[in-house]
């Protein structure tokens, strides 16, 4: 018997490689999107800080804008620096 | 005195009709008689004597003789002949009296007698009064049937088309029965007996005849307007015929034809409406072909007072024909939609619709698959044409606070609005103009509806990689108009996922780093948060596929930084080609089935247990999946739990390239449906129910529900309405886990 696969359409769900499931700021799932967005993934990306915490990009940007004095990570209170890995 | 007897032979003791004066009395003879009576002063006694004798003769002889014509045991004549003869006899006698009363009239003039006879100054009127009074004091019971037979035969003849073929004496071609008929009516008219003697029977005959005529015409034929034709028939045939009878009626009073006209027109409408009401369920089912019948009914109904009957009858018909376990939910929905459309024709206020469909709502709610059926008929072409409604119907936004009728259990207490409530007001409250809104409101929750739609959409998208997303997007846009953007946002993401997947597949395939082996792989990459939960199933794919998947995942990770893929191995579609014994066949199968085939390519014989371990698939499920290849003659169970490829195909057509595309996409949802989840919850009650019935032997539904409420419904989510419990228990009965009789459930022995 010879079997030939002409086409295999599989199903997969995508997810962010992050050490948590939810955004520490908005509490929404990373694989979902921030409260201001409608579409997940490319449209509502994640960003990592050098402290290794990560958030929805829109969430951390909003957070940082609200912080007038120090730009701190809302989780560990270290100074926030984007980690462009 | 002899002269008197000659002039008024009626006064003689042995007067018979044959003694009727043969010729006119000489003028002077009459004058002599007048003179004599005046001198003897016996004018009044003479008149009294004539009247008394008339009464005696009528009572003793003529009337009994007349009624004797109707005797039942005379089989020698038809009813037509009997009645004809009876009237002929009566009229002959009447004519004899009439001549005598001519003389009485003259006598009264000459003697200037003013004393009335029974308050009549006209002797002839008095004669007819006496005749009538005596005639009906001897009522003979059999006569009704004979009179009916007489008129029925004549009416049938009148209504028969073409030649006026005699149907009374069928063997006689030149029978003058029509003449006899007219003669009889004329005689009755002369005696002023038409209405008193035959009026009621004639009316009955006409009613029966009209009713069966309508029935014959309207039987099972809903696609033609009949009201106008029937009215024309009534006028041209029945009323015209009646006119020929009643033109002989000379009695004073209201015009009988006017009375008949009104009475019969009313009867026609009533009769037609009643017949249509009895057929209404079938008429509804045949919508829109039955539109003519519906518009007839709409026009006829206001002329009758049959609206309550219509409501009651239709409701009953719906219950007996539709609302029982033997009818599938799609069929109920089809009928329901047809009912909505038809009843809108009958009654634009929606009041009727609401009343009639109330039990249907209640029933549909108790069915588990209602929402699924509604949703699938909304977005697929089917007998309901709901998709058409969605595309062409006027979009009515279904608001969260739309008053629905499901917020209480005691809908029996629901009181219909008064019939005379202003239509405009009802229209404002009711959204009956929109079928989809009505259907959604059957369930009361648009959330449930949208969830079910999402599950269906997910199934469609996952089972057909190349499904028509453009059409799906169009439906989605239309649904958004009704359900609102937010409710359907998840579905939008799902459709977007599919579009993105196609782009990513293309991109990855062009990637120089990505190498595709013998397995062309495409992925449907979903945003799990937005899709309904998938059924979890374990499956170890063939390592060739696993390898390819690994490569694909790597390519994806490179493409989309910080993101990876979690594969649902058991989901997807595989197009596979199998060459066996010189025959090549194409199939479209599930990943499990494809994996089975791939393992059998590696090794011709597998023990079930062994393959189950390799594929990490439970033996029972695996056996079913192998079953697919068995049914196509690829694999056989050679001994118990041992499967082998069937190399020795009996097929003689060697080397034939066949391209049978076998679609075997198991019609099984990839989604864990709300129903499945609910099922699991209900199963937690089952042990309680078994325990109860072991202790108490038999219990009615209400009692089981009560006890579950006390002991089993503890979590906030685990609630169960009595209807839902009934559905659950009834399924247990079907599965023979329970016995139900006389309203009580018990365990089988
Ligand atoms: Zn966030
Ligand atoms: Zn965002
Ligand atoms: Zn941090």
Considering the domain architecture, whether residues B391 and B479 belong to the same structural domain is answered as: no
**Chain A positions in Cβ-Cβ contact with residue B602 (cut-off 8 Å):** none
Give a yes or no: residue B362 inside a domain: yes
Domains of chain A: 17-85 (3.30.40.10)
- Residue A57 Cα to ligand 2 midpoint, Å, equals 7
Rounded to whole angstroms, the maximal C-alpha distance in chain A is 72
User: DSSP string of B636-658?
Assistant: EEEETTEEEE--S-----TTEEE
Q: How are the residues of chain A apportioned to helix, strand and coil, as percentages rounded to the nearest 5?
A: 10, 35, 55
Q: Which residue has the higher pLDDT, B141 or A35?
A: A35
Tell me: pLDDT of B668 over 80: no
Considering the domain architecture, whether residues B60 and B163 belong to the same structural domain is answered as: yes
Contact A15/B604, CB-based, under 8 Å?
Answer: no
Rounded average pLDDT over B629-643:
89
d(CA A1, nearest CA chain B) in Å = 5
Q: How far apart are CA B451 and CA B130, in angstroms?
A: 86
Q: Provide the ipTM.
A: 0.94
| Whole-number pLDDT of residue B174 | 58
CA nearest B517 in A: which residue?
Answer: A5
Give a yes or no: residue B514 inside a domain: yes
Rounded average pLDDT over B240-250:
82
| Whole-number pLDDT of residue B679 | 67
Cβ partners under 8 Å of residue B677, min gap 6:
none
- Residue A84 Cα to ligand 2 midpoint, Å, equals 19
Q: Which helix (H) or strand (E) holds A14?
A: strand A2-16
- Residue B486 Cα to ligand 1 midpoint, Å, equals 19
Considering the domain architecture, whether residues B626 and B505 belong to the same structural domain is answered as: no
- Residue A56 Cα to ligand 2 midpoint, Å, equals 6
Considering the domain architecture, whether residues B433 and B520 belong to the same structural domain is answered as: no
Cis bond before residue B33 (omega within 30° of 0): no
Q: Which ligand is nearest to the CA of A33?
A: 2
Rounded to whole angstroms, the maximal C-alpha distance in chain B is 151
Tell me: pLDDT of B513 over 90: no
User: Residue B531 corresponds to which tokens in the numbers above?
Assistant: 């899709």
| Whole-number pLDDT of residue B69 | 82
Range picked from A28-37, B325-334, B689-698, B700-709 for highest mean pLDDT: A28-37
CB under 5 Å of ion ligand 3: residues: A 51, 53, 73, 75-76
Report angle CA B274, B280, B282 to the nearest 5 degrees: 135
CA nearest A29 in B: which residue?
Answer: B529
CA-closest candidate to residue A14, choices A26, A25, A30, A28:
A30
Q: Helix H segments across B582-672?
A: 591-602, 608-615, 619-631
Rounded average pLDDT over B540-548:
93
Q: How far apart are CA B260 and CA B238, in angstroms?
A: 10
Q: Could you give phi then psi for residue B77, rounded to 5 degrees?
A: -125, 155
Cβ partners under 8 Å of residue B554, min gap 6:
none
- Residue B134 Cα to ligand 1 midpoint, Å, equals 107
Q: How far apart are CA B33 and CA B5, in angstroms?
A: 10
Pair B623, B616: CB distance under 8 Å = no
Q: Where are the beta strands (DSSP E) in A24-72?
A: 46-48, 54-56
Give a yes or no: residue B164 inside a domain: yes
Strand partners of residue B699? B745
- Residue A24 Cα to ligand 3 midpoint, Å, equals 10
**Chain A positions in Cβ-Cβ contact with residue B496 (cut-off 8 Å):** 39
**Chain A positions in Cβ-Cβ contact with residue B504 (cut-off 8 Å):** none
Model confidence band, residue B416 (pLDDT cutoffs 50, 70, 90): very low
- Residue A16 Cα to ligand 3 midpoint, Å, equals 17
Classify strands A2-16 and B563-580 as parallel, antiparallel or unpaired.
antiparallel
Contact A1/B647, CB-based, under 8 Å?
Answer: yes
| Whole-number pLDDT of residue B171 | 52
CA nearest A11 in B: which residue?
Answer: B524
Q: Which residue in B572, B601, B645 is closest to A10 by CB distance?
A: B572
What single DSSP character describes residue B590? -
Q: Which residue has the higher pLDDT, B223 or B553?
A: B553
Give a yes or no: residue B247 inside a domain: no
Considering the domain architecture, whether residues B335 and B435 belong to the same structural domain is answered as: yes
Cis bond before residue A12 (omega within 30° of 0): no
| Whole-number pLDDT of residue B414 | 39
| Whole-number pLDDT of residue B582 | 82
Q: Which residue has the higher pLDDT, B749 or B60?
A: B60
What average pLDDT does chain B have?
A: 79
Rounded average pLDDT over B220-246:
87
Q: Which residue in A7, A18, A31 is closest to B522 by CB distance?
A: A7
User: At B591, which CATH number?
Assistant: 1.10.10.10
Q: Could you give phi then psi for residue B309, rounded to 5 degrees?
A: -60, -45
Q: Which ligand is nearest to the CA of A72?
A: 3
**Chain B positions in Cβ-Cβ contact with residue A31 (cut-off 8 Å):** 527-529
Q: What is the pLDDT of residues B456-511, one digit of tens each?
A: 888 888 877 666 778 788 888 888 887 788 778 899 999 999 999 999 999 998 88
CA-closest candidate to residue A6, choices B385, B666, B659:
B659
Q: Helix H segments across B286-369?
A: 291-300, 307-321, 329-346, 351-366
Helix (H, G, I), strand (E, B) or coil at B582: coil
d(CA B558, nearest CA chain A) in Å = 13
Q: What is the pLDDT of residues B443-455, one digit of tens each?
A: 666 777 788 788 8
Q: What is the pLDDT of residues B273-293, one digit of tens each?
A: 999 999 999 999 888 889 999
Tell me: pLDDT of A44 over 90: yes
A2-16: strand order across its sheet: B521-526, A2-16, B563-580, B583-589, B656-663
Give a yes or no: residue B228 inside a domain: no
Q: Which residue has the higher pLDDT, B440 or B318?
A: B318
Pair A3, B542: CB distance under 8 Å = no
User: DSSP string of B688-709?
Assistant: HHHHHHHHHSEEEHHHHHHHHH
| Whole-number pLDDT of residue B161 | 60
CA nearest A1 in B: which residue?
Answer: B580
| Whole-number pLDDT of residue B497 | 93
Considering the domain architecture, whether residues B439 and B300 belong to the same structural domain is answered as: yes
| Whole-number pLDDT of residue A68 | 80
Q: Which residue in A5, A7, A16 is closest to B563 by CB distance?
A: A16
Model confidence band, residue B74 (pLDDT cutoffs 50, 70, 90): low
Q: What is the pLDDT of residues B548-582, one digit of tens each?
A: 999 999 999 999 888 999 999 999 999 999 998 88
Helix (H, G, I), strand (E, B) or coil at A52: coil
Q: How far apart are CA B165 and CA B156, in angstroms?
A: 11
Q: Which residue in A4, A8, A46 is closest to B577 by CB distance?
A: A4
Q: Which residue in A3, A6, A11 is closest to B462 by CB distance?
A: A11
Evaluated on CA atoms B542, B547, B548, B553, the torsion sign reads positive
What percentage of residues in chain B have a pLDDT greater than 90? 15
**Chain B positions in Cβ-Cβ contact with residue A39 (cut-off 8 Å):** 493, 496
Pair B616, B624: CB distance under 8 Å = no
Give a yes or no: residue B177 inside a domain: yes
Model confidence band, residue B260 (pLDDT cutoffs 50, 70, 90): confident
Residue A56, CB-side half-sphere exposure with 13 Å CA sphere = 28
Contact B586/A6, CB-based, under 8 Å?
Answer: yes
Domain boundary among B218, B239, B265: B218
Give a yes or no: residue B269 inside a domain: no
Q: What is the pLDDT of residues B132-170, one digit of tens each?
A: 888 888 766 777 888 888 888 888 877 776 555 565 555
Model confidence band, residue B654 (pLDDT cutoffs 50, 70, 90): very low
Contact B496/A39, CB-based, under 8 Å?
Answer: yes
Residues of A with CB under 8 A from a CB of B: 1-18, 29, 31-32, 38-42, 46, 48
Contact A3/B556, CB-based, under 8 Å?
Answer: no
Q: How many CB atoms sit inside 10 A of residue B696's CB?
A: 12
Number of domains comprising chain B: 5
- Structural domain containing residue B79: 2-218
Q: How far apart are CA B688 and CA B288, in angstroms?
A: 50
CA-closest candidate to residue B245, choices B155, B322, B114:
B155
Q: Which ligand is nearest to the CA of A51?
A: 3
Q: Which residue has the higher pLDDT, B725 or B129?
A: B129
Considering the domain architecture, whether residues B647 and B721 belong to the same structural domain is answered as: no
Q: Which residue in B527, B553, B576 is closest to A5 by CB distance?
A: B576
Q: What is the pLDDT of residues B360-399, one digit of tens each?
A: 888 887 777 777 777 777 776 666 667 666 666 555 555 5
User: Residue B105 corresponds to which tokens in the numbers above?
Assistant: 């009239």
Considering the domain architecture, whether residues B151 and B10 belong to the same structural domain is answered as: yes
Q: Which ligand is nearest to the CA of A41?
A: 2
Residue B557, CB-side half-sphere exposure with 13 Å CA sphere = 12
The phi-psi region of residue B446 (left if phi > 0; otherwise alpha if psi is between -120 and 50; otherwise beta) is: alpha
CA-closest candidate to residue B431, choices B353, B342, B376, B373:
B353
Cβ partners under 8 Å of residue B320, min gap 6:
none
- Residue A44 Cα to ligand 3 midpoint, Å, equals 20
Q: What's the pTM?
A: 0.61
Considering the domain architecture, whether residues B329 and B393 belong to the same structural domain is answered as: yes
Q: Of the ranges B105-119, B206-220, B287-301, B390-404, which one carries the lowest mean pLDDT score?
A: B390-404
User: Residue A6 corresponds to which tokens in the numbers above?
Assistant: 């002409």
Considering the domain architecture, whether residues B612 and B495 belong to the same structural domain is answered as: no
Model confidence band, residue B427 (pLDDT cutoffs 50, 70, 90): very low
Tell me: pLDDT of A5 over 90: yes
Q: Which ligand is nearest to the CA of A37?
A: 2
Best residue of A10, A20, A23 to probe chain B, by most B CBs closer than 10 Å: A10
User: Residue A11 corresponds to which tokens in the numbers above?
Assistant: 């199903």
Helix (H, G, I), strand (E, B) or coil at B147: helix
Considering the domain architecture, whether residues B556 and B582 belong to the same structural domain is answered as: no
Rounded average pLDDT over B415-441:
52
Tell me: pLDDT of B596 over 90: yes
Q: Which residue has the higher pLDDT, A53 or B728?
A: A53
Contact B601/A3, CB-based, under 8 Å?
Answer: yes
Q: How far apart are CA B471 and CA B489, in angstroms?
A: 17
**Chain B positions in Cβ-Cβ contact with residue A4 (cut-off 8 Å):** 518, 576-579
Report how far apart, in Å, the C-alpha atoms of A3 and of each of A7, B376, B521, B646, B655 are: 12, 36, 16, 14, 16
Q: How far apart are CA B678 and CA B41, in angstroms?
A: 111
Rounded average pLDDT over B419-436:
48
Which position has the token pair 């009064």? Answer: B129
Q: What is the pLDDT of residues B672-697, one digit of tens each?
A: 655 565 666 677 778 788 888 888 88
Contact B528/A13, CB-based, under 8 Å?
Answer: yes
- Residue A47 Cα to ligand 2 midpoint, Å, equals 11
- Residue B564 Cα to ligand 3 midpoint, Å, equals 23
Give a yes or no: residue B256 inside a domain: no
CA nearest A4 in B: which residue?
Answer: B577
Q: Which helix (H) or strand (E) holds B40?
A: helix B27-40
Contact A10/B645, CB-based, under 8 Å?
Answer: no
Domain boundary among B199, B218, B237: B218
d(CA B497, nearest CA chain A) in Å = 10
- Residue B397 Cα to ligand 2 midpoint, Å, equals 29
Query: A–B: how many Cβ contacts below 8 A?
Result: 147
Tell me: pLDDT of B606 over 70: yes
- Residue B544 Cα to ligand 2 midpoint, Å, equals 39
Considering the domain architecture, whether residues B632 and B501 belong to the same structural domain is answered as: no
């Amino acid at each position: 018997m010879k079997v030939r696969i002409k086409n295999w359409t599989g199903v997969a769900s995508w997810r962010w490689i992050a050490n948590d499931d939810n955004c520490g700021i908005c509490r929404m799932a990373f694989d979902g999107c921030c409260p201001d967005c409608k579409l997940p993934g490319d449209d509502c990306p994640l960003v990592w800080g050098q402290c290794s915490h990560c958030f929805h990009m829109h969430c951390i940007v909003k957070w940082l804008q609200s912080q007038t004095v120090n730009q701190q990570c809302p989780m560990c209170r270290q100074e926030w620096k984007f980690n462009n890995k | 005195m002899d002269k008197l007897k000659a002039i008024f032979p009626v006064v003689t003791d042995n007067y018979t009709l044959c003694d009727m004066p043969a010729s006119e009395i000489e003028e002077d003879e009459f004058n002599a008689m007048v003179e004599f009576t005046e001198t003897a002063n016996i004018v009044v006694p003479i008149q009294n004597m004539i009247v008394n004798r008339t009464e005696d003769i009528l009572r003793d002889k003529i009337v009994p003789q007349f009624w004797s014509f109707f005797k039942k045991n005379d089989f020698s004549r038809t009813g037509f002949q009997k009645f004809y003869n009876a009237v002929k006899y009566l009229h002959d006698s009447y004519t004899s009296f009439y001549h005598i009363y001519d003389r009485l009239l003259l006598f009264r003039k000459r003697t200037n007698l003013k004393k009335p006879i029974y308050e009549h100054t006209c002797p002839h009127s008095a004669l007819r009064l006496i005749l009538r009074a005596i005639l009906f004091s001897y009522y003979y019971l059999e006569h009704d049937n004979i009179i009916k037979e007489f008129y029925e035969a004549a009416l049938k003849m009148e209504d028969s088309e073409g030649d006026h073929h005699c149907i009374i004496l069928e063997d006689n071609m030149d029978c003058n029965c029509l003449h006899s008929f007219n003669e009889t009516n004329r005689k009755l008219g002369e005696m002023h007996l038409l209405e008193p003697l035959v009026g009621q029977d004639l009316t009955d005959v006409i009613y029966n005849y009209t009713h069966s005529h309508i029935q014959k015409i309207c039987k099972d034929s809903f696609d033609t307007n009949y009201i106008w034709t029937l009215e024309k028939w009534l006028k041209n045939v029945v009323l015209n015929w009646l006119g020929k009878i009643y033109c002989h009626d000379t009695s004073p009073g209201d015009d009988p034809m006017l009375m008949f006209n009104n009475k019969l027109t009313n009867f026609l409408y009533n009769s037609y409406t009643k017949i249509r009401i009895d057929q209404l369920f079938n008429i509804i089912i045949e919508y829109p072909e039955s539109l003519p019948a519906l518009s007839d009914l709409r026009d006829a109904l206001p002329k009758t007072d049959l609206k309550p009957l219509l409501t009651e009858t239709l409701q009953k018909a719906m219950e007996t024909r539709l609302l029982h376990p033997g009818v599938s939910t799609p069929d109920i929905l089809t009928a329901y939609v047809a009912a909505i459309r038809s009843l809108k024709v009958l009654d634009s206020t929606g009041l009727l619709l609401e009343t009639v469909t109330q039990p249907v709502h209640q029933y549909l709610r108790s069915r588990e698959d209602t929402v699924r059926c509604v949703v699938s008929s909304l977005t697929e072409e089917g007998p309901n044409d709901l998709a058409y409604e969605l595309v062409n119907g006027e979009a009515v936004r279904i608001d969260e606070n739309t008053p629905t009728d499901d917020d209480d259990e005691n809908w029996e207490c629901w009181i219909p609005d008064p019939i005379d409530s202003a239509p405009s007001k009802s229209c404002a409250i009711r959204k009956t103009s929109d079928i989809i809104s009505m259907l959604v409101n059957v369930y009361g929750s648009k959330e449930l509806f949208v969830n079910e739609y999402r599950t269906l959409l997910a199934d469609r998208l996952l089972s057909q990689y190349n499904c028509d997303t453009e059409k799906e997007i169009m439906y989605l846009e239309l649904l958004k108009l009704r359900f609102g953007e937010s409710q359907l946002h998840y579905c939008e993401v799902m459709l977007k996922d599919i579009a993105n997947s196609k782009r990513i597949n293309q991109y990855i395939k062009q990637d120089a780093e990505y190498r595709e082996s013998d397995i062309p792989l495409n992925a449907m990459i979903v945003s799990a948060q937005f899709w309904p939960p998938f059924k979890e199933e374990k499956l170890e794919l063939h390592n060739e596929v696993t390898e390819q998947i690994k490569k694909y995942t790597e390519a994806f990770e490179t493409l989309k930084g910080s993101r990876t893929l979690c594969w649902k191995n058991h989901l997807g579609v595989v197009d596979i080609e199998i060459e066996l014994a010189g025959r090549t066949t194409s199939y479209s199968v599930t990943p499990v089935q494809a994996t089975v085939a791939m393992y059998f390519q590696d090794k011709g014989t597998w023990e079930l247990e062994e393959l189950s371990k390799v594929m990490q698939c439970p033996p029972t499920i695996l056996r079913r999946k192998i079953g697919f290849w068995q049914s196509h003659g690829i694999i056989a169970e050679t001994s118990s739990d041992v499967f082998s490829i069937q190399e020795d195909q009996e097929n003689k057509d060697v080397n034939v390239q066949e391209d049978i595309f076998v679609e075997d996409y198991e019609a099984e949802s990839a989604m864990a449906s709300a129903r499945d989840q609910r099922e699991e919850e209900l199963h937690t009650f089952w042990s309680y129910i078994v325990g109860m019935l072991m202790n108490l032997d038999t219990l009615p539904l209400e009692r089981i529900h009560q006890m579950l409420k006390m002991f089993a419904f503890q979590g906030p989510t685990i609630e169960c309405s009595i209807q839902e419990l009934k559905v659950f228990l009834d399924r247990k009965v079907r599965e023979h886990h329970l016995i139900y009789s006389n309203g009580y459930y018990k365990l089988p022995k």
